[in-house]
Structure 1
């Protein structure tokens, strides 16, 4: 077991930047969700639109859209990613804004035709304020039940801070704010880990689902997970995703 523990400690200390999970390639498998976020965005996006990508990470997804840079803005909260965006996106002509409060975004009223948001926090009223009338908000979110079993298994007494965060409650809030709901879907796909080191790396990144996680503190549980991998070939967790496409009326 000593070799495995040494590997887990290396995973715990491994670096992470942007929103790049390439370290986990071939070590995890995600079940496909029943919608295609990129296809939905591309179908809505027109070249003359003012576009905002909320929580862009390092701009990885945004740059695949090929939207005119001068009509594109991004927000990001995490300091290392902000630095990455300033280095990579600003020279292209993309507006980069660091966000400290979801309810206070540094844009004028009615600035954007389309706001996209994948796995980033938002304030519904602030989104409405900066959207043009008839503008669209497209968001894919991680629901409050994400990795519920795995978090509870590893973290004694774990309780999600976002337990009620799901499609039904959020759709109701959008309707109350005066949005027209154009599309809404929810799914609970599996996420399989083929080695415990991958779980360690993942848990250190997604720290809000594994608060205070460390190899040392969770060693006994990690060893139990290692036993599951040896027996079944993987550890399976359940993700929670939902999609909302809403029009600003």
Structure 2
């Protein structure tokens, strides 16, 4: 006899119970999947870090991706704005000798001008382009994987209705901002990545963790919409959305 499938309330309770600190997505295994960009950001990051002498990872989250680099540079620093993530990042980066600095996303950072030959940033909430240019020494490079406009917008629309696209996310805006900051683009490309949610518990945890998809999300506020999506998944199968990712590599001219 097959087990009774979990109810809507049971799945929602699971999604609510999972902690959202750090940037670890292992809980989603078997419940949600997301394609990875063809360029392989972790591999690129490891390569660039192995050739750097001084590097900073901006908005590092819990440091989970940075912690995978096989060879850290002699000087490795990371910044993070969300207090619960700062302690997680310090634990994850300690084996690499990395230092974590608590700093607001768009603040002037406590580093001297031209301190780094590599600035990295994966999925920044916002990119402060003039500050990136200030931190880079001449000939230094930025490597960043950005969240593209309308990412997982199909899910956001089902839960909260149509949301305006953020023009400060697209490739045209990135090219303009990088150029205005005095950086030369070396690479700029975008991909749409299939993202699949197998149950409503995964949706709840995702929206609690990735807070910019549906700003102000709570289960109580969107309970009816969640219940409707739960019925849709039961009837039609997993819900499919598309994450947009943009790879940016830029250089500060000599």
State the SS of the aligned residue for 1:189.
strand
Residue in 2 aligned with 1:138? 143
Residue in 1 aligned with 2:67? 63
Match of 2:113 among 109, 117, 125: 109
Match of 2:103 among 87, 99, 103: 99
Residue in 2 aligned with 1:180? 184
1:234 aligns with 2:238: yes
Q: What CA distance in whole angstroms lies between the structure 2 residues aligned with 1:86 and 1:158?
A: 35
The change in CA–CA distance for 1:134 and 1:127 in structure 2 (over 3 A counts) is same
Instruction: Kindly state the Cα deviation for residue 48 of structure 1 after the two structures are TM-superposed.
Output: 5.1
Q: What CA distance in whole angstroms lies between the structure 1 residues aligned with 2:246 and 2:128?
A: 17
Structure 1 segments of 4 or more deviating over 4 A? none
Query: What TM-score does the superposition give when structure 2 sets the normalisation length?
Result: 0.89
**136-145 vs 150-159, which deviates more?**
150-159
1:187-210 C-alpha deviation (Å, 9 max, x unpaired): 121211011110011011112221
**239-248 vs 169-178, which deviates more?**
169-178
1:114-155 C-alpha deviation (Å, 9 max, x unpaired): 111100132111001111100010110112211222112201
Q: What CA distance in whole angstroms lies between the structure 1 residues aligned with 2:184 and 2:129?
A: 13
1:45-82 C-alpha deviation (Å, 9 max, x unpaired): 33552111111222211121133364111111110111
Match of 2:200 among 196, 199, 203: 196
1:11 aligns with 2:39: no
Residue in 1 aligned with 2:157? 152
Instruction: Kindly state the Cα deviation for residue 185 of structure 1 after the two structures are TM-superposed.
Output: 0.4
Aligned pair count reads 248
State the SS of the aligned residue for 1:60.
coil
State the SS of the aligned residue for 1:40.
helix
Instruction: Kindly state the Cα deviation for residue 157 of structure 1 after the two structures are TM-superposed.
Output: 5.8
